[in-house]
Amino acid sequence: MKKYFQPEIETMPKEEIRKLQNELFVKQFHRVYENVPYYRAKVDAAGVKPEEIRSISDISKLPFLTKDDLREAYPEGLLAVPKQDVVRIHSTSGTTGKRVVAFYTQHDLDLWADCTARAIVATGGSEDDVVQVSYGYGLFTGGAGLNDGAHKLGAMTVPMSSGNTDRQLQFMEDMGVTVLCCTPSYASFLGESAIERGIRDKLSLRAGIFGAEAWTEEMRRDIEDKLQMKAYDIYGLTEISGPGVAFECQEQSGMHVQEDHFYVETIDPKTGEVLPPGSKGELVFTSLDKEAFPLIRYRTKDICVLNPETCACGRTHIRMSKPMGRSDDMLIIKGVNVFPSQIETVLLNEGLTPNYQIIVDRVGSSDTFDVLVEMPEELFGDTIAAISKREKEIVSSLKSMLGIVAKVRLVEPKSIQRSEGKAVRVIDKRKLY
């Protein structure tokens, strides 16, 4: 039986979604234009008259917002309500420059909880589930976002936050956890640890809701195999609310963007031109009904493809593919564009673990490209010749995928640091010079 959290919205005919978006967008644009001087100045500078904005199709006249705008307007320059209406903030984990801070009214928290509740239900979830939230709680949106969605559904929450793997596994077993929410890299580590401790068969997991970082289909299979459950993708970003901007349903053929709250476009990242659905481009989101921090045409830097066809699950909301990585995650090595996800695909297809690190450096005028990956237990202790033969095979598979030669080093099992939140896979030393 198909399950929806808000069926009247999730299966709304497309013309009605468009009508709703028209109404919400026009209201939202004029409210933000009136209330946010920073935004008004930006629209004025682009030469757009507010009266020209009469429907969602006029959105392409409006300028984009980027992370630089958010930094420039930090901390409160994009706030669209009086500060006393704000009940919470969250912030990105940005390591450079000023952090991005997003503000929420109670209405914004409610609509966000609807989004994550829909995501849980889309995995077959219900109030009978026990949901372990192992995303970080605090400024990061992962913990609070899934926590509130589970509550809205009436499911029991185990609010673990990240870290302390032994305790995570113990509660998972003792509380009969059925749904695990964390980053895919942490899920893989929890799976590995459950197997090591011999408790995998004592777990009652049904589904995992994993996101906050790019992960491949190969990684999905690895986690599903380790934890014996179905792994679902969830997407979101602090600037637009947090997890649940889009989520996977049981068809697992793209993530449904919650079109009653967010309008999505894909653009050519170089020219800013809006692309037709089906073309690969940078995702741009407009928040249609958030009150405190409603961004209009926010460039995410995430590259993906949109699919407007109604899904076999009955949901009509447009689907986005897995992001192929952020445009700013893309490495240019020896002149070739390389996404870490391509390397992950090759390594997992080679039967290796998802524990790897990519190290890029420059010697003289040429790039060096090292891939460190843990060798399987059975290879550890084997002859140097056997290990080096295996390394050569991996070099060759990477070369067929990327077109360039990497130096592959098979390192000891368990020697690459495990992540509890977003994994750090790439060390680009060239950025340090």
Contacting positions for ligand DLL (CB under 6 A):
92-93, 135, 141-142, 211-214, 233-238, 242-243, 300, 302, 322-323, 326
Q: Least distance to ligand DLL from the beta carbon of 63, Å?
A: 20
**Between residues 185 and 353, which has the closer beta carbon with respect to ligand DLL?**
185
Q: What angle do CA 137, 215, 218 make, to 5 degrees?
A: 135
Q: Least distance to ligand DLL from the beta carbon of 184, Å?
A: 8
Q: Least distance to ligand DLL from the beta carbon of 302, Å?
A: 5
C-alpha to C-alpha distances, 122 to 251, 252, 315, nearest whole angstrom: 9, 10, 10
**Between residues 212 and 394, which has the closer beta carbon with respect to ligand DLL?**
212
Q: Least distance to ligand DLL from the beta carbon of 242, Å?
A: 5
Q: What are phi and psi of 302, to 5 degrees?
A: -85, 130
**Between residues 12 and 155, which has the closer beta carbon with respect to ligand DLL?**
155
Find where tokens 């889309």 sit.
122
Query: Is 20 strand, coil or helix?
Result: helix
Determine how β-strand 356-363 pairs with β-strand 426-428. Answer: parallel
Query: Is 395 strand, coil or helix?
Result: helix
Residues 119, 125, 126, 132, Cα dihedral to 10°: -90
**Between residues 209 and 333, which has the closer beta carbon with respect to ligand DLL?**
209
Q: What are phi and psi of 21, to 5 degrees?
A: -65, -40
Q: Least distance to ligand DLL from the beta carbon of 415, Å?
A: 26
Q: Least distance to ligand DLL from the beta carbon of 55, Å?
A: 28
**Between residues 220 and 226, which has the closer beta carbon with respect to ligand DLL?**
220
Q: Give the list of residues 6+ apart from residue 93 with CB closer than 8 angstroms, or none.
A: 99, 139, 140, 421, 422
Q: Least distance to ligand DLL from the beta carbon of 109, Å?
A: 15
Q: How far is CA 109 from the centre of its chain?
A: 19
Q: Give the list of residues 6+ apart from residue 308 with CB closer than 8 angstroms, or none.
A: 14, 277, 318, 319
Q: Give the list of residues 6+ apart from residue 2 with CB closer than 8 angstroms, or none.
A: 313, 314
Both structure tokens of 18? 């468009």
Q: Least distance to ligand DLL from the beta carbon of 235, Å?
A: 4
Q: Least distance to ligand DLL from the beta carbon of 433, Å?
A: 26
Q: What are phi and psi of 326, to 5 degrees?
A: -85, 150
- Exposed, middle or buried by CB within 10 Å (0-12, 13-18, 19+), for 198? exposed
Both structure tokens of 254? 């793209």
Positive or negative: CA dihedral 418, 424, 426, 431? negative
**Between residues 236 and 281, which has the closer beta carbon with respect to ligand DLL?**
236
**Between residues 43 and 158, which has the closer beta carbon with respect to ligand DLL?**
158
**Between residues 239 and 367, which has the closer beta carbon with respect to ligand DLL?**
239
Q: Least distance to ligand DLL from the beta carbon of 259, Å?
A: 18
- Identify each DSSP E strand in 54-193 by its residue range: 88-91, 101-104, 130-133, 156-158, 179-182
Shortest Cβ contact with ligand DLL: which residue?
Answer: 211
**Between residues 324 and 408, which has the closer beta carbon with respect to ligand DLL?**
324
**Between residues 12 and 190, which has the closer beta carbon with respect to ligand DLL?**
190
